[in-house]
Amino acid sequence: MKVLIVHAHHEPNSFCSALSQHAKAELEKNGHTVIFSDLYALKFDPVSDRRNFTTTKDSNYLKQQQEEMNATANNGFAPDLESEIQKLEQCDAVLFSFPLWWFGMPAILKGWCDRVLAMGRVYGGAKLYENGIGQSKKRAMIIMTTGGGPGAYDGWGMNPAMQNLLQPIQHGVFWFNGILPLEPFIAWSPARISAEEREQFLSQLTVRINSLLEEQPIKLPPLADFPNFGSDSKSRYQVVISRKSPVDEKYKSLIPAESQVMKELKREGLLLDFDMSDSDDPEWRAFLKMRASDDGELKKQLDRLPLAPYLHFDITKIKPVPAL
């Protein structure tokens, strides 16, 4: 397998750089070929303008996507772009390695996306989502370091949920191009933890790298579900769950398996949102937003929950409304 690592940290001795080098070494140990794009070492220019091209379609008005189509037809990408595009075309998997900056990727990596993901050559026309350059075969993983800890990004902290912050990459860059996104690997606050804890992150990364090919990707909806680029053809449901009887020992023993199935439903794109009241609340409720083809499929998914026999499901089909 050929793996492209796009690395964006300016300090070679940083922990972020150590993670990317560790990923490279592990992949090579497993017999894979690694193409390593160290963007700072390459002095990669993130500014997208006419320097992207050796050809010109319209010298009076720069319309990037039009110039990209023209460059695609006339072999007109600047050598630094051509080289990166070829790396992307040839790889089976891509890893983005970066520190979280201003809730997103550093400008040099954003510039790589802005310039390398060129219309015509990489995406556009029929080349989108499952039909994109990744063809639902290439896979991708984010390897990221942060300043803040997980509690600040779990959806209840002061910052937005990390899953939402990473959507522009997971959905907008990877899946938009047919590249299957894997769970991100996040080394939280490496500058504020012990050397042993950093070692643990490196060991955890070894495990993730070794299962890079087998891991189940996060399932995001295919373009086929949205006829003519319109609304979702699948239905959305609000499910309010209550307990049929008080919690007993058997119920408690099933909670870990229940959490596991919930995680699977989320990864499979069937569970869109989830909240619940305090487990000790006598009026305990859980609130699920689900996506399913029809009522039958929804019930089938809910029946996967190990606790289903103990629960009552109050199901409402939700009408699509414009985003607020």
Positions that interact with ligand FAD (CB under 6 A): 9, 11, 13-16, 18, 99-103, 145-148, 190-191, 195, 198
How far apart are CB 100 and ligand FAD at their closest, in Å?
4
231 phi and psi angles, rounded to 5 deg:
-70, 165
State the nearest-atom distance from the C-beta of 109 to ligand FAD, in Å: 12
CB count in 10 Å sphere of residue 16: 23
Q: CA-to-CA distance for 238 and 315, rounded, in angstroms?
A: 6
Minimum distance of ligand FAD from residue 195's CB (angstroms)? 6
Beta bridge partners of 94: 4, 140
Q: Which residue has the tokens 């006419």?
A: 50
- Residue number with the smallest Cβ distance to ligand FAD: 147
Residue placing its CB nearer to ligand FAD in the complex, 21 or 54: 21
Comparison of 198 and 219: residue with beta carbon closer to ligand FAD: 198
User: What is the nearest approach in angstroms of ligand FAD to the Cβ of residue 16?
Assistant: 3
Q: For ligand FAD, give the closer residue by CB, 16 or 117.
A: 16
Is the CB of 52 or the CB of 145 nearer to ligand FAD?
145
- The rounded Cα 307 to chain-centroid distance in angstroms is 29
Task: Report the alpha-carbon distance of residue 140 to residue 198 in Å, rounded.
Answer: 23
Cβ at position 191, least distance to ligand FAD in Å:
4
Classify burial at 214, counting beta carbons within 10 Å of its beta carbon; exposed 0-12, middle 13-18, buried 19 or more: exposed
CB of 9 to ligand FAD, least distance (A): 6
- When the beta carbons of 16 and 169 are compared against ligand FAD, the nearer one is 16
How many other CB atoms are found less than 10 A from the CB of residue 91? 23
Instruction: Give the H or E element holding residue 77.
Output: none
Q: Which is closer to ligand FAD, CB of 101 or CB of 274?
A: 101
Distance CA 80, CA 78 (A): 6
Per DSSP, 307 falls in state: T
118's tokens: 């060129």
